Structures are given as C-alpha cells and as structure tokens.
Structure 1
Amino acid sequence: MPVAVPELGTFKHVPETKEQLDWAELVTVDLSQLDTPAGKKRQADILISAVREMGFFYVKNFGISQERVDRQFALGKQFYELPLEEKLKYVPQGLDEGQFNGYVPAGRRTVDQEGKIKDKIEIYNIPKFNGDFRHIHPAVISEKIEEVEEFARALHTEVLDPLFVLLALALELPEDYFTKIHQYQVKSEDHLRYMRYEKYPSEINAKLQNWSYGHTDLGSFTLLFRQPVAALQIRLPSTNEWKWVKPQDATLTVNACDALEFLTAGYVKSTVHRVTVPPKDQQHVDRLGLLYFSRPHNDVRLSTIQDSPVLQRAGYTENEFEKSGNPVPTVEEWTFAKQKWQRTKAGSLRKDHATATILPGFNEKVYV
C-alpha cells in the first residue's frame, strides 16, 4: 500500500548565532530598481563589482514570497526525515561517473586530515522540468511536484534572468546575451537542491577544521536561500582570507561560478567557498539548505566571449583551456567531468585528488 504523505505544515528556522564572527561585507543587488535605464546601470555596476572583487553578493526584492520559500524548506525537511533505506532507492545510476540528479548519500568522503571522519552531507537534486524526461521522486516530493516546478521556474524568471541582463549590461553586451544561453526550456544541467549537513557530536566537531573544504561551483550562478546556521565562508580573492557569510533577512545569497569565469577569461571570479564548523551555539542542530544551480545550455562551448568591449579593453581574451592549447569543452563535457571528480569517494584532502586534472588544460586547486 502507498505510504501516506504528511502535510507540509510550517517551517521554523533556528535562531541565528549570538557569536561575533568575522563577517564578509557583501553588497546587495536590488531587483526592484530595474525599471529604468539608470536603475539597471546602477545595479549592473554593483553586480560586476561583486563578482570581480568578492564573488558573493545578496539579492533582494526578487518577487518570491517567504511563504513559498519556507514550503520548499519544509519539503526538504520531510525528505530527510525518510528512512535511509527509502532515500537510497533514489541514488542515481552512475553516481561515481558524475551523475547527480536524485539522492547522494552521506559518508562518501572524509573531512579530516587523517582520513578517518566521514562527511555527513546529504543531497537531493531535482533537475529542470524542461520536457526531456520526468524524474522519479519519493512520494513526499512527487505529490508536491507541481509546486516544486513552479518554484524552480520562478527562480529563472524572477531572479536569474534579471541577473543575466545586468551581467550583460556590465560587459557592454546585448541585454539578452546570457539569457539566450540560459533558457529554461533548453537542455542544461540546472537543478534545485535540498541539502542537509547532519550535526556531529561536539567531540567530533572539536577535531574538524571544516565540514566541507574550499571549492568552486561549476555553473553560472548558484542561488542560496537564507540559512541561519552560520557555516558558509568565502575566500576573498584579494587577500585569500576566509570570511563568514551572514544570513540576511529577505535576501538570496548568490555566487558566481566556473562557467562564467571561463566565458570571461577570469574577469568574473568563480567564488571559492567552504562550509566550516558552525559556532558552538548552533552545533546542536542540522543545517538544512535550499539551493539552485544555474548552468548554460549543454551545447554551449566555454570559449572566451570575444565581442565584449569590456573584456577586450581589460585584456581578458583567453581562458585556461585556450591558453593551454587544449580543446575548449562544452558545458556538458565540463559538467560531467567535474561532477565525476566531485562524486568520487576519494578524500577531498588527498593531494592527487585535490589537484586532479578535470579536463586537459584545467587542474583543480587546493583551497584550505
């Protein structure tokens, strides 16, 4: 018999930390200011400064209510309350080869220098609803799938499309330059993610430096909904210092990713970030995240944009693949090569893994 699915109910976020942390000073892009050319220009200037100097920024007034956001958090919470044997039914075939949609269980990698403590990170990825196929989900999600689809599509129209317009303006490109290669109905590896960092006992936290080590995301922009358990840190490009990212009410936290760095030959910085051990007053709770990962169409080749006057004037004309003389990959080739590296069971601190060749012309880097 089918299992009854409980009502979502309300979702209550845990209190923010009372500890005084070294917070990053991030700017905010205000999407309510795009009705005039002057407003667009101002917000485009804020965005390009952020993705060049910090990599992370906040977005406000994005037209999606907190109630809708909290329903997605509640849905993620319900999924993670399922028995492990039920969640394991949704592990994708080919996980070790880079497949990622569905459930990625915890414990695949180690997070300490000695290689003895396994991660407690669980992931559930939901691919785009673009007609290619219908993914099979557990009942707690499938019974709300229309709501999930509406939410995911709204992230494109209400958040990503305006950000891509601002980025194009900042690079003196046509406004639709980036939206044309990020159309929802075209095949790409975008996905919505529910992510849980299960708490460790205090004696384990005392042995750990981080819950996940420094890395960059592989796509265009990552959207992170407000997460009050402080643990996210970014590495400042100018000084390599690590700073905490403060949860701000009624905002999204957004970071630029690898694909934009390749397309701009490094003018846009792919943000190095990590999840570290939370403050002591928050170590007793699990950390539930709601994220969206945006990527260009699969067939887009990650060559440097040559028709941006800004990139030409600044001398950003060749990315790492082009400088090395190796073939420039498509987004699909890049995505699955890096996902294969990310999904390996090898410890993330092992030297041969941390600096592995993802594709000819690009080696990963150690960020500690």
Structure 2
Amino acid sequence: MGSISEQGSNGEIASENIPIVDLSPFTSSESADKSPAARLKAAQDLVRACREVGFVYIKNHGVSASELEQAFTVSKSFYDLPTEEKMRAPHPPGWAVHRGYSWPGLEKVSGALSADDNVEELAAKLREVQDYKESYEVGSENNPDQPNVWPPPEVMPEWRPFMTSFYWTCFEAAKHILRALALGIGLSDENHLLNYHSGDYNQLRLLHYPPIPATAVEGGKFARMPAHTDWSSMTMLFQDDCGGLQVESPSQPGEFIDVAPIPGTCLMNVGDLLMRWSNDYLRSTSHRVQLPPRQDRYTGDERLTRARYSIPYFVTTDPDRVVECLTGRFEGGEKAKYGPITQREYSAMRARMQY
C-alpha cells in the first residue's frame, strides 16, 4: 500500500494521479470563464481523469460550503442519538428497498456478483467479516420503488426537511458533471447522459464509522468498508477530515493509495453502469475505507479509531431506461462489449449480495 502525493494547480495536495478539476465554467454564476473553450477544457480534463483513474477531485462543484457544513452537523446529530431512537427509522428487511437506518453489521459491501443458485452461500461467506459502520439512505419522494423511511418528527424534526432539500441540491450539482462528461467524451448533445437521469432514482447516503479497536480491524474481525466499485452512473463524495478512504492505484493494480480530504472539493468517481455505458472508455475504480492514518486514540492501552463521517451521493439512470454501449466515438470502441441492460436489472443483481 502506498501514499504518494502531488501538488494541485492552486497548492492543494492530491493523492497519486488523482487530478483536481475546476468545474466553474459549468457551475459558477460569478466571473468564471464560461466560454466554449473553457467549458471544453474543463470537460476534457474531467474525462481524462475518469479514463485514467476513475476518481477526480472537483472544485466549484455547485454545493455551497454552508449547506455541506449543515449536512454534516445534522448527520452527526442523528448518529449521536441513542440506538433505540435511531431504530425508529429502520432499514426494511431484505435487499429490495434500500432506505432508512442501517445499524453496524447489517450491510456487507462487496464487489461480488452471483447467480441466483448460490447467492446465499456466497453472502454467508462474505459476512464472516462484518462491516463496522452505520448509514442512513435517503431518496426522492417520487420514487415508487424505494419509499423513504423517516425518523418520527419527535425524534429529529429537522431530518426530513433538510435531507429532502439536500438531496435535490446534490442532483443540481450532478447535472453539471453529467453535462461535462457528455461534452468531454464528444457526444453531440451535452444533455445526452443527463436525459437518462430524472433525479428520482438517486441515493443520498449519510455514513458514520464509529470508533472501533484498531486491532479488531487489523486482525480481520471487522472491516470498515471492503474494496468495491459503485453500481451507479457516478458518485459524488463529501468527506470529513478524518481520512481512511483508499483508491486502487492506477499504476499498480492491487495496491491502494490514501485519498486525502481536500477542503472545498468533492470526490467524483465513475460507477460500473457508466463504465459499461461508455464501453469501458471510462473507468470504475475499486476503493475501500481502512483505518484512518494517524488518527488513533487510546482508551487505556487500547487503540481506538477516530469516528469518520462521509456523505456519498449516488447518481443513477431511471430504472427502466435501456442503457446501450456508446460505440463509434472512441478509439477501439466501435464494437459493443456489453448487451443492453436496465439499471433495475443490474442493481437487483448487486443488491442481493449486499443485504
């Protein structure tokens, strides 16, 4: 495992080969250069990062610092509640509906795919090492397949109104990224990718990694979040200053590099569906959460990890839109590598393994 850094254009420290892209030509309402040339350069820089690494830091992403600060504050307030209060908005049984509160050990993140005949056997094997985290999933109120699960107002009155609003704030930012990606890969219609995304089928996730004895993770009893790729079109990730996120090295497959939080940026990564959609032109990269670097604290002689909070926003196509490989636009990409598929079909295949 390595951790190599490089200097960004404005002095930020980025992890090895993970570029920093300024999206202000798409997002800024101020004095940013919004000329066609500036937009094309930002779009091409974004696509280059998505091709070569699959991860990119984005500056001027379109979510205000004040709203992000409030999102982390509200999230932390929820996780500070007693367990019995959090459990008043529980994740429904099974894998079909992914909403509400997931307690430590409920979810098992995995990159595995399985046929129906051996899914239970493989899932049981994966769960021999539990993921020690808790999360809360929020979606659009217009999604008939995934009804939201909300805490009762007396538990946390601000949760539902704020998270509903923040969900759509994140989608407005995601629209800019989808437009930039379409422009950067040479699609004639800048809205081509966006047209598959109504916003009603995305997922906002509030994550908390509670303190845990470091030896429990180092000894393999628990995991923070194992290596995996995301299922969706793309993910926007906002993280606190704790650290612990690692991305598979683009130059050394199988090796993972630390991804340091950079204030004022979000991390964007390509999901499996977009990689498939682009005929493998864009890269969906494996990533994981390990022990945070140099953040241990002690209770007596026992090392405890520091709590970590993060907020990923998963952007995905509408479930019954058929996604077919974009071919004829990329070098070596004339022939489709994958057959047509809907997001509904793909996500069901993945969710069976996870819950």
TM category, shorter: 0.7 to 0.9
Residue number in structure 1 paired with 2:341: 329
User: Matches of 1:153 and 1:141 in 2, distance apart?
Assistant: 20
Point out where structure 1 has 5 or more consecutive residues left out of the alignment: 1-19, 323-327, 344-368
- Deviation, 1:216, is 0.3
CA contact (8 A) 1:263 1:319 kept: no
Structure 1 residue 314 and structure 2 residue 332: aligned? yes
Say whether 1:42 aligns with 2:41. yes
Residues 69-84 of structure 1: pairs in structure 2 closer than 5 A:
69-84=68-83
Quick one: structure 1 residues 267 and 316, their matched pair in 2 at CA, closer, same or farther if it must change by over 3 Å? farther
TM-align CA RMSD: 2.6
**TM-score (norm. length: structure 1):** 0.77
**Of 258, 264, 270, which residue of structure 1 is paired with 2:284?**
270
Letter in 1 for 2:307: D
The residue correspondences of 1:31-70 to structure 2 (distance < 5 A) are: 31-34=23-26, 35-70=34-69
For residue 137 of structure 1, the aligned residue among 150, 153, 156 is 150
Question: Counterpart in 2 of 1:146?
Answer: 161
Alignment map for 1:21-40 (pairs within 5 Å): 21-22=3-4, 23-34=15-26, 35-40=34-39
Aligned to 1:3: none
Distance 2:3 2:250 in 1: 20
Aligned to 1:89, what secondary structure does the other structure show? coil
| 1:187-217 deviation digits (Å, cap 9, x = unpaired) | 42x1111111112113324424952221100
Name the SS for the 1:225 alignment partner: strand
Cα distance in 2 for partners of 1:163, 1:136 equals 29
* Counterpart residue number, 1:354: none
Residue 161, structure 1, aligned to residue 175, structure 2: yes
Q: 2:165 is paired with a residue of what secondary structure?
A: helix
Counterpart in the other structure of 2:324: 303
Give the distance between the partners of 1:155 and 1:280, measured in 2 at CA. Answer: 31
Give the corresponding residue for 1:291: 312
Change (3 A) 1:314 1:124: same
Q: CA deviation at 1:300?
A: 1.6
Correspondence for 2:206: 194
Displacement of 1:147: 2.7
Relative distance call for 1:102 and 1:136 in structure 2 (3 A) is closer
Which of 219, 224, 229 does residue 232 from structure 2 map onto? 219
User: Is the 8 Å Cα contact of residues 191 and 292 (structure 1) preserved in structure 2?
Assistant: yes
- Cα 1:24/1:141, change in 2 over 3 Å: farther
Decide whether aligned partners of structure 1 residues 25 and 293 sit closer, same or farther in structure 2, where only a CA change above 3 A counts.
Answer: same
Q: SS of 1:280's equivalent?
A: coil
Cα pair 1:305 1:317 within 8 Å, conserved: no
Q: What fraction of aligned residue pairs are identical, expressed as a percent?
A: 27
CA distance in 1, matches of 2:165, 2:313: 13
- The separation in 2 between residues aligned to 1:84 and 1:125, in whole angstroms, is 17
CA 1:319–1:88: 2 relative to 1, 3 Å: farther
User: Which whole-Å CA distance do the structure 1 matches of 2:143 and 2:274 have between them?
Assistant: 26
Q: Deviations over 1:292-343 (max 9, x none)?
A: 111011112232124xx423x43253234x3xxxxx4310121122112122
TM-score, normalization: structure 2? 0.79
Of the three residues 80, 87, 100, the one matched with 2:98 is 100
Instruction: Identify if the C-alpha distance between structure 1 residues 144 and 100 changes in structure 2 by more than 3 Å, giving closer, same or farther.
Output: closer
